[in-house]
Structure formats: structure tokens, C-alpha cells
Structure 1
Amino acid sequence: MKMLINGEWRDSISGRIFPVHNPATGDLVGEAPLGGEDDVVSAIEAAGEAFSDWAAKSPRDRSKILFFAAAEVRRRNTDLAALLTAEQGKPIREAVDEINGFANILEYYHGLSAVPQGEFANLKGYGRATVERRPLGICGAIIPWNMPAIIMGWKIGAALAAGNTMVLKPARTAPLTCLRLAEILGEAGLPPGVLNVVTGPGETVGREIARNPSIRKVSFTGEVETGRQVALDAAPAMKRLTLELGGSDPMIVCADADIGAAIEGVVRGRFYNCGQVCTAVKRLYVDESIADEFVRRLTARVEGIVVGNGMDRGVGMGPLNNRAGLERVASVVDAARERDEGEIVAGGRAPEGEEYKRGLFFLPTLVAGVPHDSVLFSEEVFGPVLPVAAVSGLDEALTLANNSRYGLGASVWTHDANVIARATEELDAGIVWVNQHLKIPPEVPFGGTKGSGIGRENGSRALDEYSEEKAVLVRL
């Protein structure tokens, strides 16, 4: 696989490549060019040359290309999902859902493009006022490995629909699906240079995207410290930023909750994609009146999750994507064990057996009775580990839920209208779910508060993030 610049598939200027391995088997999935700063500059030049013509197209003409691409993505779903599972590790059914999610996003912005943008008013004493929306120019996107197709869709959907061109950097451990999706967009009619994909390390490719003054906006999804560096690099050029920097989402289970439904919500919300989701359930607070029963039933359910190669039938959870992530998860569990911070009632180790030795596997792990000051609660654990604590009621649950430097998502499980009203009002998060968790349709703005970042993706307002306003006053 080669990088995409100006509609052409190229090697990196250095001529170097890097391997992409299957995290379940260690097998080689493919190779990609090891891009550098010069490759980013070349991509920026191509995006600059393509910008005027792309911005001049009508929104409907731009959106038709997104629609045609979405249809082709759906047609190739099986092959795309298999590639995604091979390089990222998630079970094939999750990969199928993610590829469909990418198509959903393109279709959403196709439909949204038919709605006129801008404002109009007659202002007495001033004349006719219009507010036009204009594309920013060249935009940059830096995406992670955990949900590469979905997050690519979030970033390119609004940017391209608004008339911008883009330089995109996928993650080193999962670039192949992004390259294939970019290829499909080109086949659907996207002009050369509108979307350029440069593969390579964050310290060179990502940093050049962040600091190059020709790029007017950067959208980044990833770790907090890396996001801070992106902001520092972008600051001299006064770039617009969207930073989605992870979270430590709380889930509150009230005394009147449907226990069975809440348990299934935990299983999907925490162990989907091996727990490698920014909005995964990472802290579980259960009303003390039902806590014992809840933990007992949840333990049995977690122990029944089948771990293995995502391509195998019946697998409920695949491996972690990379060795550094596996080592961090194992380290935090070992630290909690050594400090006697709760009881590990499920998992807590790598699975045994020959079929697991070459992969990056860790069992789905449940830790009950965790003290509130444990690192399991205070830090984002990006993997299949869930700490549980009993709470005395809603007051304590909300206090603990908000006691975090993160504020990405949160959920409450109850049928009490008063509790729902209070929780949705007081939970300090960018998105709050009631009796569900994790789902983010493209129609809903997505982003966080506090340390979880700035800006929003998805929804109609995402077009605002990728455009600037020009006010015009006309007096005849």
C-alpha cells in the first residue's frame, strides 16, 4: 500500500516503509510508506492546488461524491471489514459495524449539504444583512488506531462537504483501511488533491500537519499529552483546533434500573473493541442496594466473553491493538493487585493456551470494591479493565462521576424521570446517555469538557467548525 498525494499513489520521499502486523497473530498484514515532513509539504501543495476548484463546486455536487463513495463502501463492506479486523484486531462484526458507520457519516453530510447554510435578515437602519459561510482552506486530520474508519469519517465528512481540502495522517498500527477508503473516494469522483493521506510517525508527519502555517485547521483524536503538543505546535499560526483527548466515562446504575439491561450495557460499553474506545465505560458506580447482585451477575457475564482472533466465529473480544497498550493494561492491574485496591473477580491476566501466545490478548477484567482514590478510577485505562464501586445514592454517584479531569461521556441507568432530569443536568460531560452507552450517531455533536478536549465533531454544527463566517451589510 502507498500513500495518496494529489490523486497518485506514491512511496515516501525517503523510500522507507513500515510493517503493519495483525495483533491477534503477529502476522504481517501489509506495509505502508514511512512518510516525513517533505511528504506532508508535498500533500499540502496538492491540497492547495485543488482547493479553489473544490470550494467553487456547489454543495450538492460535492455531496454527490460522498454519496457515491458511501454506496461503494457498503458494497465492499466484507473486504473492508476483514482488512480492518486484520490490522486493528476487533471482532469482525464490530468491523462490519464500523465500516457501515463510515458510510452513514458520508450519507449524513450528503443529506445535510442540501440544506442552505448561512443567515439573512433585514436590519432597520443598517440594511440587508447576510452571513455567508466560506470554507477555511486546507485542513489537517490526525486519527488514532482504535476506530480508524469511523474517526476518519467524522473528520473528512464535514471538512469536504464544507468545501475544504485535507491532509490526513492515519495511525501507524492501523493505516491500511484508511488508505483503502481514500481510494474508494477517488473512484467515486473526488478530484485529485482534495484528500491526501500521508502515513508515518506522529513526531514527523503529525507534527508537520500541526505546525505548517498553510493548514488552517487541525482535528486531532488521541492522547491528552499529544493533544497538548498539537495545540502548542498549531498556536503560532492561530489555527482552528478540534481536540478529542479521551475520557474516563462513568456509568451510574440506580436502584430502580433494569439490571439485565444495565449488565448488557456494561459489557458492550466497556469491552467493545477490547475496551479501546474513548467513550467506553471506564468507571462503574452501582447503588449499594443492588451492588452485590449486580456484581455477581456481571461477573458471570464477563467470564463468558470469548476472547480470540477477531476473524473466528463466536469471538466476543479481540486483542489489544499494540504491545504498549497491553503492557499499560497489565501494569495498572498489577499495581491495583499489589496495593490491594479491590478484588479482581474476573480476568486480571492474559489468557492461557497456544492460540494466544503470538497475540496481544488480555482477559476482560472486573475489579469489585475499588476505593474511590484508586488509579483505576482517576486515570483512563485504555483496555478491558473495569473498576466497580458501590454508592449510597445519586448524590454520591454524581459527585464521584464528576470528580475527574475528563468529561467526554457519561451514562445513567434508571426509569425515574426526576433522576434522569437531575443527572443529565449535573453530569459534566459532552454527551450523556440514559439507559444506554457508547452509541454516537452522526447527527449528534460529539466532544468533551475539561481535559477531554475542545471543539465538536458530527452534527450540523461540524460544518461550522470547518468554515468561517463573513458578514455582509448592504444598504441601497
Structure 2
Amino acid sequence: MDRILNYIDGSFVAPASGQFLDNYRPRDGAVYGQLPDSTAADVDRAVAAAKAAFPAWHKLKRQERAQYLYKIADAIEQKLDIFAAAESRDQGKPIHLARSMDIPRAVENFRFFAGAILHQQERAFQTSPEVLNYTRREPVGVAGLISPWNLPLYLLTWKIAPALAAGNTAVAKPSELTPATAFLLAQVMDEVGLPKGVCNLVFGLGEKAGDALVAHPYVPLISFTGGTDTAAIIGRRAAPLYKKISFELGGKNPGLIFADCDLEAALTTTVRSSFLNQGEICLCTSRLFVQESLLPKFTELFVERIRQLKVGDPESAESFMGPLVSAEHLEKVDGFVQRAKAQGHTILCGGERVAPSAALQKGFYFAPTVISTQDASSEIMQQEVFGPVVTITPFTDYADAVEKANSTRYGLAATIWTQNLDTAHHAAADIKAGQIWVNTWMLRDLRVPFGGMKDSGIGREGGDYSLEFYTEEKNVCLQIGRNRL
């Protein structure tokens, strides 16, 4: 049985309590390994190591820090298949998806921020011939990084890479549901010789290890990706300590499909945007709003394609979807669908647990589900399901579409399908979401800041915005004395 260890001060160590948690394989529900059930004692040790490593790390030249990040990227890339297999086993996503999306994007995170730190520019203002004002950006210190289970390596490295590039040290707590790729990352950092204490990984539960990290007095910065309700708890804990915080939270993302859209493109991409990674991506489209004149045709073709999606063994190249991440999450998703059915919403396809084979009957599989509803205030339209469930609802005109798109507390992302340039630009401005895609989905550029509006988060990730979050400004006013000969 695999046993994961914490990575603290350059060493792999068991939790101080000696207690471990079981790690389940979504594919078949079996226990395949264990991870530390870390407590405040482990967090204290990791923070002390990061605090001790900070002075030397942030005094390194930017080029020297960048070289460590490039080495980490190269090492992950060389072990791409190992990382992909671990992520598929841990999270349940098809292994081909981990190979093509998650692991390459994690590699790119390190390479992008290694390069970005070399090109960051500061501001200077010549107030008068004798006075110069300039801004210095200095790392904050020990960064507390809490990452989710749905894109475990990709989102973890999106925090670690800019934090280290900017000169901070880090204590990261990956999700207890998906620790395998984080443990492999720790092994990579050890292999490339990252200085001891610069990046520490503490595994365990949010209410123990996560809470201790958030409340630690020597951790001035918290970056959290996860649920909106958990973020509220973190905010209450962090506020009295005046920590910098960044939250990338939930979404109930609308897709607006106008009658003048490229129908084939809209269908093909919306299948992916609704059900990729079992719908367990914060950016997935979970509410489809289709113009009335197009609704019958779109619904017929969309449901037909969804019924053809293969839910299967994540180890198979033929599977479009694998299992959900855990038995608890399967119960949650199923509960949403059963309540929607009881409330009178129409299940057009799916809506049930499935088993790809007799050998996988204990796995956490759920059929891709499409629900027809016109009640924008219902639970299934308001609450984040975070699974393979999408609703489909008609709209009459532009104003009706925008009103329905904005009718939730979330504002993470949206997609717009139209060939009308005016409609595209106006909708992009009127929809309250941090990320808008027009006639595409999941097209990302790391130079572009990413984050949500409303209850979908505060702060931004990506590009200079990430580097600025992991630094603090110091403004210097210099009086220049002139010696005249």
C-alpha cells in the first residue's frame, strides 16, 4: 500500500501524530494508499522551515530563482506519464485528459512564471530634478497555499510557481482527496535540489492542517481555491491577522446560445464545456440558456450527443468521462438530481449512477445529465453541483438572456455563442463574470488575469497580477543632492 509523507525542510517525514488517512481510488472505490493526517504541529514545523529559508531565497538573483523553476518544469515533463497515471488514479479523470491538459499546464505554470519574473518592471517618477520616487516590490514572506482536488497538480503549481518566483517561500496543503501528484512534485523538487524549506507540503484535512495554516501568525498570505462557504470561514480567520488573501471559488457558469450562432461549433464545444473532467472544473458550463427559436433543435442534437458520451474506466483511452472524485461527492451530485426530479424538472438524459463493468461497480460513476427547467430560482439553477449536470432553459431576447445569466450569486465564467459582433461585445460587458469566452471555451493565456466576481472570489491569478499578489509595494522618495563644480 502506497504511503505518502509530508515534505518539510527538504525531508520526507511522517506526521507528528503518527496518524494517517486512507486514500480511495475513484475507479473502483478501493483503498490504495494512505496520507498524513497532519495537525498544527506539522504546520508549525513547515512554517518554521519556510520562515528560516526565506532570507536566503528572496536574496537570490531572479535568474537563479528562475533556473530552479525551469528545472522543476523539465523534470515534470520528463515524468509526464507517471504524473498523469497518478492524477487519473487519484482524481478519476481519464488518463488521456491528464496527459493532454493537466500535466502540460502544470509544466507551463513553472516555465511561464520563471520567465515572467525576469521581465517584471517597476515604476519610477521624476518629481523634480532633485527628487525621484520609485516603487520596490518585495516578497511577502511565507505563502500559505491551499489547493483543490479537481485539477490537483495544475492548480497547485499555479500557486507555487508565482509564489517562489517572486521570492516567497511556501507551505502548501493539497487536497486530502488527491495527494499523489503533490507528493510526486515534492520528489521532483527534492531531486532538482530546491533549497531546503523553500517549498513545504503538508497533507491532511482542511479542519486540521488547513485551519492551522490559515491561522498561523507567521503566514502573512493565503491563496485558496475551493468552495465559497469554506472561503468565508478562511476570511473570518485571516481578517484579524491582516493577511493578504486571494480566493478562486465556485461557479454556476452560464452559456448563452443565440439563434445566429455557429450551431455545430456551439454543440461541439458545449459538450466539452459541460462535461469535461466529469463536470468537475470550476469553469464548466452548468446553465445553458438557448434562444427560443433555436431551443428545440439545439436540445435534440445536444441530448443526442450527450447520450453517446462514454462513461468508463479512466485508464481507457476510449472514456470521455471517468468516476467522480469520492463516494461523498457522488452522493452530493445524485442528491441534487433527485431533488430536481422531485421538484418537477425534466430529466432529458442521465440522472443516475452507472457502472462501466462488473469489476468497477463500486466506483463513483454518474451518467452525464441534462435537465430541462424554466425556474431560474430553483436549487438546481442556483447551487453549484460541480458534477456532470447541466440545465437547459429558453430565453426570449437579449435582455432576458443577460438577466437569467446574472441571476445567481456566482460570477466566475460565461460563454457566449453568436455571430453578431455587437451582441458579443455587449454581452461580455453586461454579464457579471470574471472570465468571458465568445465562441470558444477554456482558451487560456497565462498573461491574462483570472478570477471571479460576486461570490466566485476575490483577487486574480495569472500574469503580473499573480506576481503582484505575492509581493508588497514599498515606495521610496529620494532627494538627490547635486554637487556642482
TM-score range, shorter chain: over 0.9
Q: How many residues align?
A: 475
Matches of 2:243 and 2:129, distance apart in 1 = 35
- Which residue in the other structure is 1:228 paired with? 232
- Which residue in the other structure is 1:57 paired with? 60
- Say whether residues 1:21 and 2:24 are aligned partners: yes
- Code of the residue aligned with 2:122 in structure 1: it is G
- Which residue in the other structure is 2:118 paired with? 114
Matches of 1:16 and 1:466, distance apart in 2 = 33
- Code of the residue aligned with 1:90 in structure 2: it is K
* DSSP 3-state at the match of 2:53: helix
TM-score by length of 1: 0.98
Q: Unmatched 5+ residue regions in structure 2?
A: 481-485
Alignment CA distance shift 1:441-1:21 (3 Å): farther
- Code of the residue aligned with 1:14 in structure 2: it is S
Matches of 1:266 and 1:355, distance apart in 2 = 31
- Code of the residue aligned with 1:376 in structure 2: it is I
- Say whether residues 1:241 and 2:225 are aligned partners: no
- Code of the residue aligned with 1:208 in structure 2: it is A
Contact 2:120 2:464 in 1 (8 A): no
Alpha-carbon deviation of 1:30?
2.2
- Which residue in the other structure is 1:92 paired with? 95
Contact 2:214 2:222 in 1 (8 A): yes
- Say whether residues 1:83 and 2:86 are aligned partners: yes
Matches of 2:445 and 2:329, distance apart in 1 = 27
- Code of the residue aligned with 1:62 in structure 2: it is R
- Code of the residue aligned with 2:186 in structure 1: it is A
- Code of the residue aligned with 1:154 in structure 2: it is W
- Code of the residue aligned with 1:78 in structure 2: it is D
- Which residue in the other structure is 1:292 paired with? 296
- Which residue in the other structure is 2:476 paired with? 472
Measured against aligned partners, the alpha-carbon deviations of 1:100-143 in whole angstroms (never above 9, x if no partner) come to: 10001111011112214321221127701110000000010111
Alignment CA distance shift 1:299-1:474 (3 Å): same
- Code of the residue aligned with 1:6 in structure 2: it is D
- Which residue in the other structure is 2:353 paired with? 350
Spell out the pairing of 1:182-331 with structure 2 (5 A cutoff). 182-331=186-335
- Say whether residues 1:435 and 2:439 are aligned partners: yes
TM-score by length of 2: 0.96
Matches of 2:304 and 2:6, distance apart in 1 = 46
Measured against aligned partners, the alpha-carbon deviations of 1:158-208 in whole angstroms (never above 9, x if no partner) come to: 110000000000111101111111221232231110100000111010001
Over 4 Å off, 4+ runs: none
Alpha-carbon deviation of 1:155?
0.6
Alpha-carbon deviation of 1:267?
1.3
Measured against aligned partners, the alpha-carbon deviations of 1:247-288 in whole angstroms (never above 9, x if no partner) come to: 111000111111111112211111111111111101100111
Contact 1:412 1:433 in 2 (8 A): yes
- Which residue in the other structure is 1:412 paired with? 416
Matches of 2:344 and 2:120, distance apart in 1 = 59
Contact 2:451 2:458 in 1 (8 A): yes
- Which residue in the other structure is 2:184 paired with? 180
* DSSP 3-state at the match of 1:215: coil
Matches of 1:124 and 1:136, distance apart in 2 = 31
- Say whether residues 1:142 and 2:146 are aligned partners: yes
- Code of the residue aligned with 1:140 in structure 2: it is G
Larger mean CA deviation between 367-376 and 86-95 belongs to 367-376
Contact 1:370 1:387 in 2 (8 A): no
Matches of 2:425 and 2:175, distance apart in 1 = 39
Contact 2:116 2:463 in 1 (8 A): no
Alignment CA distance shift 1:374-1:355 (3 Å): farther
Larger mean CA deviation between 141-150 and 439-448 belongs to 439-448
* DSSP 3-state at the match of 1:410: strand
Question: Which of 127, 132, 135 is 1:123 aligned to?
Answer: 127
Matches of 1:274 and 1:333, distance apart in 2 = 15
Question: Which of 412, 423, 434 is 2:427 aligned to?
Answer: 423
Matches of 1:441 and 1:176, distance apart in 2 = 27
Alpha-carbon deviation of 1:66?
0.6
Contact 1:117 1:132 in 2 (8 A): no
Q: CA RMSD in A?
A: 1.2
Question: Which of 42, 57, 68 is 2:45 aligned to?
Answer: 42
Alpha-carbon deviation of 1:27?
2.7
- Code of the residue aligned with 1:337 in structure 2: it is K
- Which residue in the other structure is 1:12 paired with? 15
- Code of the residue aligned with 1:327 in structure 2: it is E
- Which residue in the other structure is 2:483 paired with? none
Alpha-carbon deviation of 1:215?
0.1
Contact 1:29 1:86 in 2 (8 A): no
Contact 2:5 2:12 in 1 (8 A): yes
